[in-house]
Structure 1
Amino acid sequence: MTSTVRTGDGTRRERRAGRATAARSTQPEVRKVRRLTATDRIVMGLMVGVPALLVTALIWGPSIASIALSFTAWNGVTPAQYVGTRNYEQIASIYPPFWPALVNNVVWLLFLLLIATPLGLLLAVMLDKQIRGTRVYQSVFYLPVVLSLALVGFIWQLIYSQDQGLINELTGANVNWLGDSSINLPAVLVAAGWRHVGYIMVLYLAGLKGVDTEIKEAAALDGASETQSFFRVVFPTLKPINVVVLVVTVIEGLRAFDIVYIINKGTNGLELISVLITNNILGEASRIGFGSALAVILLVISLAFIITYLYQNVRREGAQ
């Protein structure tokens, strides 16, 4: 604001006022920080403390207890006796079901990683193009995810049944899909993959929706094909989703239990470590220490896959 007063003294006062106003305008605005009240602290404590307590009690507590029990001989009734590493030595040397179960678990995991997961990614890429009927396809492919693996096992028992199963009725064959130890594992893997594909599809579809379309257009202007644009531009931006998919796939592959237990209680070629854990802890001759040792082995295998992948990603990012 300027004044119409022309006096010399007034002019000097106006100039000094202008300089003072400019000095005040350059100072950063100080915002008042609201202090937390006692109620705020209580609410925040409950929001953080209750989930942390539940995770500790339901996840970390049993995990630590299993590690401790794995060095004991305990049937759940008499006092536990410390036996050192004897349970692990017996698992590796004189427990015949362990090695076939370990191989089956690895095969299960590789199937989900190398076949079911890429198939889920492919479906997500196709549905991301907004083809006609996208919503219907999403619902159809995601439907198995809302079913438990136990229910999936019942459904595929009807499909694989030797007498009146859907496959044998349509093909006119008489194959014992779930009774033949040479083919029942691949048959069950198809059933497990049927559910896993839909889950992975939804995860990747959510990630693809968040990809900026400008980077796709820039890649196209540079002459990249659609395949090159996806693998060199789009897929690297999905790194957070890839981590989630890896963790989910490893967990699904190594903790598989419901479907094989429903079919034949994990026998006759369908042995899995999770089934051995259940049989030893809840069986007629309860061996909780021995079953805990099997659970610890399964935990170590799971962590080995996940930690290795995360370490490789962190090191690659550090090198960049």
Structure 2
Amino acid sequence: MSLTTTRRAERRRRRGPRRFTRRDLAVLGALLGIPILLDLFIVWGPTLASVGLSFTGWDGIGDIEWVGTDNYRNLFTNYPQFWPAVRHNLMWLAFLGLIATPFGLLLAVLIDRGVRFSRFYQSTLYMPVVLSLAIVGFIAQLVLSRDQGALNAILADTQSPTDWLGDPDLNIWMVLLAAAWRHTGYVMILYLAGLKAVDPSLKEAAAIDGANAFQTFFRVVFPTLRPVNIIVGVITVIEALRAFDIVYAINKGRNGLELLSVLVTDNIVGESSQIGFGSAIAVVLLTVSLGFVVTYLYQELRGEKNR
């Protein structure tokens, strides 16, 4: 190293860390500021506006009238569609969380073990994920329609065909199966990516210690999937609480398919134009969503910290 190079290095050390120029600050401001402003304008702006409007009786045209908590009081006591919608959203969450998600994990484990035609199974099971829930709803209509549906045609029940989508006691379960068909493939891909990242030496060490396949998975492999579990848990909650497309495509979310998201749309965009009342339903949905997500993340992150 020459004497000149040594002196330059010494000067850099004396100057300390490099300072940002005005151009650097402008670029950083643009790269960070524009996304933040868009997020505030598109997401948090309407969110805070909905919270404020939920305490008003605005119809979207006339003057905004402050009504306090009347919208929430009427929602909980005088709106018959509210509690069935809450029940259906909770059913959605339980079905996706307790049936579709474990089934997606099972499929990921089987494919990760290298069964024959695993690439074909992986592509086939993931295919529904590229479809929107609205398209899944239209497919459900083609399969489950009372008069021209494929399922009744296979059952050959022409005398008294089952009304899979019209019977309030059946349609919610049929729609849940259709939603789980899409959700399972998504969960499978996430867990499959997590399983590919597991260190094979952990499995080998467990096998040397005498652990069988079941013990190896639940005591060695599954704990290492904690980051994936957090992602899958949050996605499952969000998918369950924001469900809208599929039921609206089938029967506009009525006759046994009521959901909170549908009630928000009916009151804000529908003929009633009760912006304040619809905003109150939206705030309830937001509160429930944040409650589930924040609680789940807190428990997972606290468990990660205690490890």
Normalised by the length of structure 1, the TM-score is 0.87
SS at 2:164 equivalent: coil
2:222 maps to which residue?
235
- Residue 112 of structure 1 deviates from its aligned partner by 0.4
- Residue 41 of structure 1 deviates from its aligned partner by 2.2
2:60 maps to which residue?
76
Q: 1:220 is matched by which residue type in structure 2? A: A
2:213 maps to which residue?
226
Aligned length: 292
How far, CA to CA, are the matches of 1:50 and 1:123 in structure 2?
A: 41
1:27 maps to which residue?
none
How far, CA to CA, are the matches of 1:246 and 1:268 in structure 2?
A: 30
- Residue 318 of structure 1 deviates from its aligned partner by 4.4
2:177 maps to which residue?
190
SS at 2:153 equivalent: helix
1:180 maps to which residue?
167
1:18 maps to which residue?
none
5+ residue gaps, structure 1, are 1-29
Pick aligned residue for 2:43 from 20, 43, 59? 59
- Residue 39 of structure 1 deviates from its aligned partner by 2.7
How far, CA to CA, are the matches of 1:125 and 1:49 in structure 2?
A: 42
- Residue 230 of structure 1 deviates from its aligned partner by 0.9
- Residue 183 of structure 1 deviates from its aligned partner by 0.3
Residues 39 and 118 of structure 1, relative CA distance in 2, 3 Å threshold: same
SS at 1:73 equivalent: coil
1:1-320 correspondence runs (5 A): 33-173=17-157, 174-320=161-307
Deviations 1:96-138 (A, max 9, x none): 0000110011001100000011111111111112222222211
Larger Rg: 1
How far, CA to CA, are the matches of 1:135 and 1:51 in structure 2?
A: 38
- Identity, in percent, stands at 58
Q: 1:310 is matched by which residue type in structure 2? A: L
| Stretch deviating more after TM superposition (181-190 or 208-217) | 208-217
SS at 1:269 equivalent: coil
User: Any conservation in 1 of the 2:138–2:249 contact (CA below 8 Å)?
Assistant: yes
How far, CA to CA, are the matches of 2:193 and 2:29 in structure 1?
A: 32
5+ residue gaps, structure 2, are 1-12
- Residue 256 of structure 1 deviates from its aligned partner by 0.6
2:9 maps to which residue?
none
